[in-house]
Structure 1
Amino acid sequence: MNLSVAAVSEVVWVLGIVAWCIIRYPFERRAKRVPIVSNRRTGSEAVGLAAALAGLAIVPGFYVATSWPAAADYAPRLWAIVIGTILLCAAMWVFRRTHKQLGRNWSITLEIRKQHELICAGPYSLVRHPMYTSFLLMGLSQAFLLSNWVAGMAGLIGFGVLFIVRVDKEERMMLEVFGPRYRAYMAKTKRIIPYLY
């Protein structure tokens, strides 16, 4: 393995995780101060969040720290690092914009907060779930940055599990709370990929 190319890609991945933590921290702190009106947490949601955490942070972090499983390595490519870096920058941009747009409405789990509002501006004008869009972009960037079949693909698998177990429940919750307004919003927007899906 070309260590210099591999090392650069791993450093970029680590910087992405650091950026993710820096972006999320102040919103997480502020969210704790806003009372929760309705909590829809379920066991399947916990599984989805755990899968996303494992796939986007724990498995690749373990690989970066230990190089295990080295048997799944393949030769890193400079073009893949460039694509992965671009995707990671896009993911962080969407991630930040989504948090800013949500403001006091943000929650890590399925919760409705006091004076919860339906957000339809910013990234929400293009897709209903831009936070998932950022996770998808992170998973794709990880696949390009980490030249290991296990660690590289773990992010997309983790994202997929979270998306499958949670997005329908999230949309049902929003329909219960916002009714026809959310249904009209659904008719105008795609789920996570603008103009496609």
Structure 2
Amino acid sequence: MSIASIGEIIWVLGIVAWYVIRYPFERRARRVQVTRNARTLTDRMGLGIAFFGLAIVPGFYVATGIPKSADYSPYAFAIVLGAITMLLALWVFRRSHKELGRNWSITLEIREKHKLVSSGPYAFVRHPMYTSFLLIALGQAFLLGNWVAGLAGLVGFSILFFLRVTKEERMMLENFGPEYRDYMERTKRLIPYLY
């Protein structure tokens, strides 16, 4: 088995694990009433683009090998680094869902009895779910020996992040007021201690 094949298998396992982690939280979230919905066409487009870059493009590549012209031979250290990054991403993803509990939503929504969560990964960054997506995208870039499929996740993540994060923070400020402003002052947006 080639190094490139090992990277592809690890990527597939990571995406399956991502879905397995999310599914029970998604099911539970449907049972909690939404009190405010700030979903827009831009929000849906951002989610679609992120899904395209983090799942469709790399999945198509893994299944078909297209676009072959963008292939390169990955190094073993890149596969190891990609696997570690993917594991870290899944850990942050799971912890973020666990901390949010009934407050979790895939879109910009405030749920009944919504509380500001500032524990677990939320003690370090305001958007650890996005941090996990960034880590998945970086893992994808290391694991897939193809410039298009490998980098599609970073492009998709970046578009989603920059389309949504300001709106999300505005919504949280409107809902939680000074409590969220204080939280913003003591945490970074995406990367602990940096940004």
TM-score by length of 2: 0.99
Letter in 1 for 2:124: L
Name the CA distance, whole Å, in 1 between partners of 2:29 and 2:45: 22
Give 4+ residue runs of structure 1 displaced > 2 Å after superposition.
Answer: none
Q: Deviations over 1:54-102 (max 9, x none)?
A: 0000000000000000000011110100000000000000000000000
Name 1:138's counterpart in structure 2: 136
Name the CA distance, whole Å, in 2 between partners of 1:7 and 1:157: 23
For the residue of structure 2 that corresponds to 1:24, the secondary structure is helix
Name the CA distance, whole Å, in 2 between partners of 1:21 and 1:122: 21
Letter in 2 for 1:46: R
Q: Does 1:171 align with 2:169?
A: yes
**Aligned-residue offset at 1:51:** 0.8
**Aligned-residue offset at 1:28:** 0.2
Name 2:155's counterpart in structure 1: 157
Q: Could you tell me which of 57, 60, 73 is aligned with 2:71?
A: 73
Name the CA distance, whole Å, in 2 between partners of 1:145 and 1:17: 12
Q: Structure 2: which 5+ residue stretches go unaligned?
A: none
For the residue of structure 1 that corresponds to 2:36, the secondary structure is strand
Name the CA distance, whole Å, in 2 between partners of 1:185 and 1:133: 17
Name the CA distance, whole Å, in 2 between partners of 1:64 and 1:38: 39
Name 2:183's counterpart in structure 1: 185
Q: Alignment identity in percent? A: 66
Q: Does 1:86 align with 2:72?
A: no
Aligned-residue RMSD, C-alpha: 0.5
Letter in 2 for 1:179: G
Q: Structure 1: which 5+ residue stretches go unaligned?
A: none
Q: Deviations over 1:152-197 (max 9, x none)?
A: 0000000000001000000000000000000000000000100000
Name the CA distance, whole Å, in 2 between partners of 1:165 and 1:47: 9
Which residues of 2 match residues 47-126 of structure 1 at below 5 A? 47-126=45-124
Name the CA distance, whole Å, in 1 between partners of 2:67 and 2:158: 22
Name the CA distance, whole Å, in 2 between partners of 1:110 and 1:7: 37
- How many residue pairs get aligned? The number is 195
For the residue of structure 2 that corresponds to 1:112, the secondary structure is strand
TM-score by length of 1: 0.98
Name the CA distance, whole Å, in 2 between partners of 1:152 and 1:24: 23
Name 2:22's counterpart in structure 1: 24
Name the CA distance, whole Å, in 1 between partners of 2:142 and 2:74: 9
Name 1:8's counterpart in structure 2: 6
